[in-house]
Structure 1
Amino acid sequence: MVRIDFKRNDGGHEICSGVMISASAIMTAAHCSCGAAQSYVVQFQKGARLNVGSVERYAMQPELSRFPGYDCNKSASLQAGLDLAILYFEPGDVEKIADGEIRNPPGIWPVFDFGTRRPNLTVAGFGVLEDGSIPDHLRMALVSMVDPYCVTGVVGRSVCKMFREFALSNLIQTGGALDADTCGGDSGGGVFYLVQGFRDDGTPGDLIPKLVGITSRAIAGVNQDNRLFCGGGGIYTAVGTATILDWLNSLGVRYALR
Structure 2
Amino acid sequence: MPRRRAADIMAAATTTLWRLAVLLTVVLAGVGSAAGEEDSFRSMKFQAQQVTPPGDFRPEVIGGKPVESGVYKEVVRITFQETAQGEPDTCTGVFLHGQGAVLTAGHCSCGILDSYRFVLKGTLDSATDAAKPAARYAIREPVRFPGYSCSPGAKNAGLDIAVFFVRNLDGLNIEPDKDKDGPLTRIASMHTVYTARARQLVVAGYGYTESGKLPTALMRAAVGIGSYFCSTGSFDGTSCVGFREFVLSTPGGDGPPRDTCGGDSGGPVYWYPPVQTDTDKNSFLPTEALVGITSRGLAFAHNLPGMPCGGGGVYTAVGRSDVLDWLLSLGVTVRTTEVPIATTTGGQAVQ
Bucket of the pairwise TM-score, normalised by the shorter protein: 0.7 to 0.9
Matched, 1:167 2:223: no
Partner SS, residue 160 of structure 2: coil
Backbone CA RMSD of aligned residues: 2.8
Alignment gaps of 5+ in structure 2: 1-74, 338-351
Alignment gaps of 5+ in structure 1: none
Name the one with the larger strand percent.
Answer: 1
Partner SS, residue 185 of structure 1: coil
Q: CA deviation at 1:203?
A: 4.6
Partner SS, residue 336 of structure 2: coil
Partner SS, residue 295 of structure 2: strand
* Alpha-carbon distance change, 57 to 160 in structure 1, aligned in 2, over 3 angstroms: same
Partner of 1:43: 119
Partner of 1:137: 217
* Alpha-carbon distance change, 229 to 178 in structure 1, aligned in 2, over 3 angstroms: farther
Partner of 2:270: 192
Q: CA deviation at 1:176?
A: 5.5
Contact 1:38–1:61 under 8 Å retained in 2: no
Equivalent residues, number: 254
Q: Which whole-Å CA distance do the structure 2 matches of 1:141 and 1:215 have between them?
A: 13
Partner of 2:231: 151
Q: Which whole-Å CA distance do the structure 1 matches of 2:309 and 2:207 have between them?
A: 11
Q: CA deviation at 1:61?
A: 1.9
Partner SS, residue 127 of structure 1: coil
Q: CA deviation at 1:129?
A: 0.8
* Alpha-carbon distance change, 154 to 49 in structure 1, aligned in 2, over 3 angstroms: farther
* Alpha-carbon distance change, 203 to 146 in structure 1, aligned in 2, over 3 angstroms: same
Q: Which whole-Å CA distance do the structure 2 matches of 1:209 and 1:54 have between them?
A: 30
Q: CA deviation at 1:36?
A: 0.3
Partner of 1:66: 144
- Residues 169-193 of structure 1: per-residue CA shift (max 9 Å, x gap): 00xx345676011011000000000
Greater radius of gyration (CA): 2
TM-score for the superposition, normalised by structure 2: 0.65
Contact 1:106–1:209 under 8 Å retained in 2: no
Higher relative contact order (CA 8 A, sep 6+): 2
Partner of 1:33: 109
Percent identity between matched residues is 37
TM-score for the superposition, normalised by structure 1: 0.87
Matched, 1:12 2:48: no
Q: Which whole-Å CA distance do the structure 2 matches of 1:125 and 1:58 have between them?
A: 18
* Alpha-carbon distance change, 133 to 250 in structure 1, aligned in 2, over 3 angstroms: same
- Residues 207-249 of structure 1: per-residue CA shift (max 9 Å, x gap): 5220000000001112012433110000000000011111111
Partner SS, residue 186 of structure 1: coil
- Residues 31-73 of structure 1: per-residue CA shift (max 9 Å, x gap): 0000001111111123558764484421122321001111112
